[in-house]
Chain A
Amino acid sequence: DVKVTQSSRYLVKRTGEKVFLECVQDMDHENMFWYRQDPGLGLRLIYFSYDVKMKEKGDIPEGYSVSREKKERFSLILESASTNQTSMYLCASSPIPGQDTYGYTFGSGTRLTVV
């Protein structure tokens, strides 16, 4: 079964810490995405990548960065975590650059709490 795996289901971090959220997909997909999910706001795109070492800002990139050194892995980095980054983070991947009629495959999410 094809999968997008997020390394942690739950994380608790302190304000100011550097936080890494890891995502790995085994489908050889070109595109990978990071979203955050908040009640009443739905899913908002943070960053996406359409190839190794390529990255593009989404709608809410402030306070985040990403890394894609290998095709299967896409990391989200919170350089200095703040309480307003407490959220559910969802990683997704999709095949074929520029064509999304197959839909995205999502990971199970990482619920991050910043205290």
Chain B
Amino acid sequence: GNSVTQMEGPVTLSEEAFLTINCTYTATGYPSLFWYVQYPGEGLQLLLKATKADDKGSNKGFEATYRKETTSFHLEKGSVQVSDSAVYFCALSMNTGFQKLVFGTGTRLLVSP
């Protein structure tokens, strides 16, 4: 079946450090890929998405590129802030039939001043 694998956390960084959170997927076909963020005490919010190979999603300084050859969608940010501390979820959905989101297990990011 379809699945998403994320790096385990927590990822602990100092403010202004470079962030990478790895995400790889397994899917039969060509899915759409998403990153969601969950701030403490809140539900999930869509951070960015990409719907086909080589697309780059970006939002709030975060970027991720859909790499079909490596089945990856790694999340990056050049300079993290304390306010970026949250749990980040990678997810996929197929583009045929009824698309349900399949989530990774989430990666907690902790940014210290």
Contacts and interface: CB of A to CB of B under 8 A. Distances in A.
A4 B43 CA distance: 10
A90 B51 contact: no
A109 B105 contact: no
A48 B99 CA distance: 11
> What band does the interface of chain B fall in when counting residues whose beta carbon is under 8 Å from A?
20 to 34
Interface of B is mostly: loop
> What band does the interface of chain A fall in when counting residues whose beta carbon is under 8 Å from B?
20 to 34
Contact of A42 (B49, B95, B105): B105
B55 to A, nearest CB: 11
Given A43-B89, A98-B98, A101-B49, A106 B103 contact: no
A9 to B, nearest CB: 8
Interface in A58-109: 58, 90, 92, 97-101, 103-109
A41 B95 CA distance: 24
Contacts of B101: 33, 45, 100, 104
Q: Which of B43, B98, B105, B106 has the most CB of A within 10 A?
A: B43
Interface string B92-112: 010101111101111000000
A109 B103 contact: no
B106 A100 contact: no
Interface string B37-65: 00001111110010100000000000000
Contacts of B25: none
Interface of B: 32, 34, 36, 41-46, 49, 51, 89, 93, 95, 97-101, 103-106
3 interchain residue pairs of minimum CB distance: A106-B43, A42-B105, A103-B46
Interface of A: 4, 33, 40-43, 45, 48, 50, 56, 58, 90, 92, 97-101, 103-109
